Structure 1
Amino acid sequence: MIEEAWGNYFFLLDEQNYILYSFPKFYGNNWSGGDGLAAVSFKDVNKDGLKDVIIIAYVDAGAGPSLIEPFPIAGIYFQKKNKTFTTLPTLDQALNDQAHNQTVKDVIQYVSKQRININ
């Protein structure tokens, strides 16, 4: 996976760094700028036997004198049976609105209490 400077875009790469898969838009791209990755984790979040990808990135909300400290935004890519990935923007929004975005453990604890069916 790699990060682009103007936002967070993620790719699955092979050994020669060729793109095998482009992940959907990251939820954190709804903010003005990326400020680095905090965590990337491969876990079966929704207990369907497939590895999902949890990403926590730091973003900022502005520029100039009103710039606030970068804050974490979490997003989850759920793996589907056909080996593609999808996001659930409403889940990502709730996860972040309720501040369950600080650590991978926070994300997993929150999501484990949700009913998730993506297939």
Structure 2
Amino acid sequence: MSMSDPAAEPVESADFDGEEAAPEPVVEASEVEVTLQRSVRVGRVIVGAAIAGAIIAALAALFFPIDEKSDYTMGQVMGFSALIGAAIGLGIGALLVLILNAAAKRRRGTGVAIQSDVR
């Protein structure tokens, strides 16, 4: 008669994988009517206008001659002109954004969005 320890023997079960079965997710879907409104990307327009203003002003400074007896160089003139041009471009870009936003707000629409909640 041999006595074996039942706790030492592995228990084999065909139904047990070592993980508990996760409950099936419950999906609740509901339709919601939403308003669609277009808008302008403000940052991109303003930065683009400031860069364009700086480049145009710096290039325009090349068309004016500098006296040889002056205390400033062509680089200083171009830099100062670029600074002023960037400020002017910034203002023009801001006005352009206001106009484009007013035009974009006219185009409104409605749509149906499906909201899904998973639990």
Normalising by the smaller structure, the TM-score range is under 0.3
- The structure where helix makes up a greater share of residues is 2
Q: Report the TM-score when normalising by structure 2.
A: 0.19
Q: Report the TM-score when normalising by structure 1.
A: 0.19
- The structure where strand makes up a greater share of residues is 1
The structure whose Rg is larger is: 2
Relative CO higher for 1 or 2, CA cutoff 8 Å, sep ≥ 6?
A: 2
